[in-house]
């Protein structure tokens, strides 16, 4: 078993640039069965030129060639398939059109397809799939000078600017974050954006126009603290070509982790904390449907988007997969643009759903806006006679080090999962310190925390724990240095 992590915001861009030619060669090498399919269909049309079943199969295969060949850069093959598809559609409505020549036309198409796959392709014709998706920044009430300063650098920083919008417009196209002057609410009658959207308040007279890069740095940090910057996608498949297609197709902006064996899948889920899981339906000695059902029974993965990959699956298998809890099925051979679009759609849905609930997009842990709920939880447990302990876990992070922050997010989710039901409340503080209310006395809580510290993954940052039984969470809600008994 091998596992690979590709961070597309790092040094893997050169490798991605070389990926498509390699994938194209793989597709060409496996194209002969596709040509043979058209030769068989031509033989069927010789005997039964009006066969509805043969015509439907022909249309289906032509659509597959048109889309897949284009995505791998075989533009001539794609255009040939599109032209024949138009003709076959006419055959379905006119039984006499080309009746005696249908088999010949399909045979000629098969020969032309074989030649098209052998035709050399100019490098400039390769389709571009690796450009990073831009994050939408909604500007509400900012000055024209600030807008101009941000517009100059938005594309380079991975953002797309959107101007003031009503609440309705925001709901139709949800931005990733809102930028607004601190005094905007007091001087404007415009309804504010949705309160659950990450919002960056600025001093418009100083910050926006003077240092756009600093503002974008703050925007990056805010997204990391509330949603994500480079979400992790986990792909489990034993086909090396599928793993390579996924790395190429999903492009930059994502952190891609691949597994070619399910042997360590649970360990990888726990360590990497993906926000989307891509899963091959048929792996040797592995029941993907039973595995999906098991995940859906675990609180930690109940809302994890699961996309199953498979080819030629019967209706019973598909029904069983959806019943087990997959979100959707992608048919092999994978079409790169379709794979990218489906993953992007799942990421967007998850982002909005979690933000609406006040949860961090990556970890599903409540955001700082919900931290004060800990006071009510604590009072309720004390009233019920429970002996509870308030804990604050503070990571040792360097300012501006997003990779360490990402590692802490994964570690904080691991900690919450490991503690389980003993944690009666969890939430982040503004500085991403993790606030916990444990249904256990301090001595037991400290033993649990020490055990978790000893089993900390190597890439996770170190963290400090403050424990307080007497005062509850009140002392930890301030962003100042926490008080309490340090371990």
pLDDT at position 448 is: 93
Q: What is the mean pLDDT of the chain?
A: 82
What separation, in Å, do the N-terminal and C-terminal C-alpha atoms of the chain show? Answer: 39
User: Hey, is 447 helix, strand or coil?
Assistant: helix
HSE at residue 44, side-chain half, CA atoms within 13 A, is 15
Give the pTM: 0.69
Which residues of 132-254 form beta strands (DSSP E)?
Answer: 135-139, 159-162, 177-181, 199-202, 232-236
Nearest to 361 by CA among 234, 231, 229, 227: 227
Beta bridge partner(s), residue 394: 464
**pLDDT tens column, 368-396:** 999 999 999 999 999 999 999 999 999 99
Q: Is residue 35 over pLDDT 70?
A: yes
Nearest to 149 by CA among 62, 192, 242, 213: 213
Cα-based torsion angle of the residue sequence 262, 267, 273, 279 in order, rounded to the nearest 10 degrees: 10
Which strand (E) or helix (H) includes residue 327?
none
Taking the C-alpha atoms of residue 214 and residue 195, their distance in angstroms, rounded to an integer, is: 24
pLDDT at position 251 is: 64
Q: For the range 262-269, what are the long-range contacts, defined as Cβ-Cβ under 8 Å and sequence gap of 24 or more?
A: 262/236, 262/286, 262/291, 263/1, 264/1, 264/3, 265/236, 265/291, 268/3, 268/234, 269/234, 269/301
If pLDDT is split at 50, 70 and 90, which confidence band does 189 have? low
The contacts of residue 348 (CB under 8 Å, 6+ apart) are 174
**pLDDT tens column, 439-466:** 999 999 999 999 999 988 888 999 999 9
Question: Token pair for residue 274?
Answer: 């993906």
Taking the C-alpha atoms of residue 128 and residue 125, their distance in angstroms, rounded to an integer, is: 9
User: Which DSSP string do the residues of 374-432 spell out, in sequence order?
Assistant: HHHHHHHHHHTT---EEEEEEE---TT-HHHHHHHHHHHHHHHHHHGGGEEEEEE-TTS
**pLDDT tens column, 334-380:** 777 778 888 888 998 999 999 999 999 989 999 999 999 999 999 99
Question: Token pair for residue 92?
Answer: 């379905």
């Amino acid at each position: 078993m091998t596992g690979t992590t590709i961070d597309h915001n790092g040094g893997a861009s050169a490798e991605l640039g070389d990926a498509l030619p390699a994938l194209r060669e793989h597709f060409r090498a496996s194209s002969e069965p596709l040509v043979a399919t058209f030769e068989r269909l031509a033989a069927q049309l010789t005997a039964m030129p009006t066969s509805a079943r043969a015509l439907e199969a022909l249309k289906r295969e032509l659509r597959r060639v048109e889309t897949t060949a284009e995505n791998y850069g075989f533009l001539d093959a794609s255009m040939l398939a599109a032209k024949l598809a138009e003709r076959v559609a006419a055959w379905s409505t006119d039984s006499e059109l080309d009746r005696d020549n249908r088999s010949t036309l399909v045979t000629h198409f098969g020969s032309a397809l074989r030649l098209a796959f052998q035709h050399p392709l100019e490098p400039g014709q390769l389709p571009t799939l690796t450009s990073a998706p831009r994050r939408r920044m909604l500007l509400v009430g900012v000055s024209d000078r600030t807008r101009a300063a941000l517009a100059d650098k938005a594309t380079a920083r991975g953002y797309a600017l959107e101007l003031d919008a009503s609440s309705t417009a925001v709901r139709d196209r949800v931005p990733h974050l809102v930028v607004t002057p601190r005094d905007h609410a007091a001087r404007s009658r415009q309804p504010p954006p949705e309160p659950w959207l990450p919002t960056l308040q600025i001093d418009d007279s100083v910050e926006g126009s003077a240092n756009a890069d600093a503002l974008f740095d703050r925007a990056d940090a805010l997204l990391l603290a509330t949603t994500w910057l480079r979400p992790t996608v986990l792909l489990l498949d034993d086909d090396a070509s599928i793993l390579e297609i996924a790395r190429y197709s999903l492009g930059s902006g994502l952190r891609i982790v691949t597994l070619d064996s399910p042997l360590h899948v649970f360990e990888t889920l726990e360590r990497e904390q993906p926000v989307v899981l891509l899963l091959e339906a048929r792996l040797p000695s592995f029941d993907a449907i039973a595995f999906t059902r098991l995940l859906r029974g675990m609180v930690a993965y109940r809302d994890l988007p699961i996309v199953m990959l498979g080819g030629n699956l019967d209706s019973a298998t598909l029904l069983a997969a959806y019943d087990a809890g997959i979100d959707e099925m992608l048919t092999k051979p994978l079409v790169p643009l379709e794979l990218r679009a489906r993953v992007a759609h799942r990421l967007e849905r998850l982002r909005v759903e979690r933000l609406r609930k006040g949860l961090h997009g990556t970890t599903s842990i409540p955001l700082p806006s919900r931290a004060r709920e800990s006071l009510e939880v604590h009072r309720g447990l004390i009233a019920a006679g429970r002996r509870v302990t308030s804990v604050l876990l503070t990571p040792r992070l360097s300012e501006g080090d997003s990779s360490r922050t990402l590692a802490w997010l994964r570690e904080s989710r691991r900690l919450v999962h490991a503690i389980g039901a003993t944690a009666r409340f969890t939430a982040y503080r503004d500085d991403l310190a993790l606030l916990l209310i444990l249904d256990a006395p301090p001595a037991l809580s400290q033993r649990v925390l020490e055990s978790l510290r000893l089993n900390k993954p190597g890439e996770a940052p170190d963290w400090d724990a403050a424990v307080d039984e007497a005062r509850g969470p009140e002392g930890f809600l301030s962003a100042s240095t926490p008080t309490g008994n340090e371990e």
